[in-house]
Structure 1
Amino acid sequence: MSGSVDRPRLTVEQYAREGSWVVAARGELDADSIAPLDRATQAAVAAVPTLVVDLGAVTFADSSALNLLLVLHHSTALRVAAPQPQLMRVLHVTGADRVLNIYPSTDHACAAQA
């Protein structure tokens, strides 16, 4: 028997900061792993006026992530923080970078004026 431990492919942390609610994802975002981020962001949409989704620690993202961001964009004042180059490329190729409010860091996203 191996001593390895199954670890979730995605973890989510949430906290209030500068009048925004931050949901920070860490790991891989795909159809099989996105549920924790989806639950956290949907709960936030119902409770807070400004949502920052921190993607700085996301190592992989597919169309599931893109879809979630676009749905959130239509549901709340969404700020996307620190998307990594792979996700930024997807956002650029699809034109989503022209629709979403994208910031280089969580600090910038939280400090931005509505």
Structure 2
Amino acid sequence: MCQYLHMGENRTADTGHAAQSGRLSAAVTVTDGIRVVALAGEIDHHTADTLCRALDAQGESGPRVVADMGKVTFMDSSGINILIAAHRALSEAGGWLRLAAPAENVRRTMSIVGVDAVIDCRESLSDAFSG
């Protein structure tokens, strides 16, 4: 899915380094068979591997993923590219990627580049689980 990871690898999010650096943390849980990736911090080229690993963590859930973006304070093109790659890979696997509760500055960035027209963006985490 990502340039940092090989397709099909079974990995979980490694947030130890991210938590120490304070740049990006990712907590992966499963709710009703949907992988939920709760993100906090900045997504840029320095933290892209954390996002990649979290979105690519396969195993206990199928190809349905909600990325909780409520605590993401910044996202550059690295994050955009990873989200698009994840969206494509999950769609090809018969699933989907939904982005939940992005902060206004992150939503604006996604809108400017058109990501919100390609990837399903929801106002809240609970909205991401419906329909």
TM category (shorter chain) comes to 0.7 to 0.9
Structure 1 portions without partners, runs of 5+ = 1-5
Displacement after TM superposition at 1:44 (Å): 3.4
**2:27 alignment partner, SS class:** strand
Partners in 2 of 1:29 and 1:44 — Cα distance?
Answer: 21
Partners in 1 of 2:55 and 2:84 — Cα distance?
Answer: 12
Determine if the alignment matches structure 1 residue 14 to structure 2 residue 33. no
Q: Which string of whole-angstrom CA distances, capped at 9 and with x for unpartnered residues, describes residues 40-85 of structure 1?
A: 1112389522100111000111111111111111011101111111
TM-score by structure 2 length?
0.74
TM-score by structure 1 length?
0.85
Partners in 2 of 1:15 and 1:9 — Cα distance?
Answer: 20
Partner residue of 1:51 out of 31, 49, 65 = 65
Partners in 1 of 2:61 and 2:68 — Cα distance?
Answer: 18
Calculate the aligned-residue CA RMSD, in Å: 1.8
Aligned length: 107
1:78 is aligned to: 97
Distance 1:23 1:41, change over 3 A: same
1:105 is aligned to: 124
Structure 1's consecutive aligned runs of 4 or more residues displaced over 4 angstroms after TM superposition are none
1:3 is aligned to: none
Displacement after TM superposition at 1:34 (Å): 2.0
Distance 1:91 1:45, change over 3 A: farther
Partners in 2 of 1:28 and 1:36 — Cα distance?
Answer: 11
Larger radius of gyration: 1
2:8 is aligned to: none
Partners in 2 of 1:71 and 1:52 — Cα distance?
Answer: 14
Preserved contact between residue 22 and residue 52 of structure 1 (Cα < 8 Å): yes
Determine if the alignment matches structure 1 residue 90 to structure 2 residue 95. no
